[in-house]
Structure 1
Amino acid sequence: MRQSRTMSMVEAAANVVVGYVLAMATQIVVFPWFGIETGLVEHMTIGLAFTGVSLARGYVLRRLFEAIRDRSS
């Protein structure tokens, strides 16, 4: 069964939202171990930057694998 472009974006977005929440929690715990002291706003800004990259990566990879699947069918 083929996945539509819209559903590829929905899947990628859901994955990124969950990843963002986990990243925020991880940063808050791990940064102090390395002597990195930041406030909540900085954590959110860093998380948003990586979220944008992650969303684009997930979408592009999904579309790439869909194209590979289509060519092999």
Structure 2
Amino acid sequence: MQSRKESLIESLMNIGIGYLVALLSQLAIFPLFGINVPLSTNLWIGAWFTAISLARSYAIRRWFNSRLHQAAQRLAGSV
């Protein structure tokens, strides 16, 4: 089972890579829809979505690990 620290590190790596992909995507896609904002605005938009994504990713990871641990305990108890 992953520790909380390992879950956080994995989530940070995932989010960091996702931030770069999202930022590059914003720079390419926003102008196609007539959204022209300065780079600083793109950075802030990406930062807000990244913070939300980090919280979501961490919570889901912890929930799944907890559920997996509970299932393993039930299986061990039934043997």
Give the structure-2-normalised TM-score: 0.90
Partner of 2:36: helix, strand, or coil?
coil
Paired with 1:21 and 1:38, the residues of 2 have a C-alpha distance of: 17
For residues 24-39 of structure 1, the aligned pairs below 5 Å read 24-39=23-38
Give the structure-1-normalised TM-score: 0.97
One-letter identity of the residue aligned with 2:41: E
One-letter identity of the residue aligned with 1:34: F
Paired with 1:63 and 1:10, the residues of 2 have a C-alpha distance of: 12
Segments ≥4 residues shifted beyond 4 Å: none
Q: Is 1:10 the equivalent of 2:5?
A: no
Which runs of 5 or more structure 2 residues have no equivalent in the other structure? 73-79
Residue 37 of structure 1: how far off its partner (Å):
0.4
Which runs of 5 or more structure 1 residues have no equivalent in the other structure? none
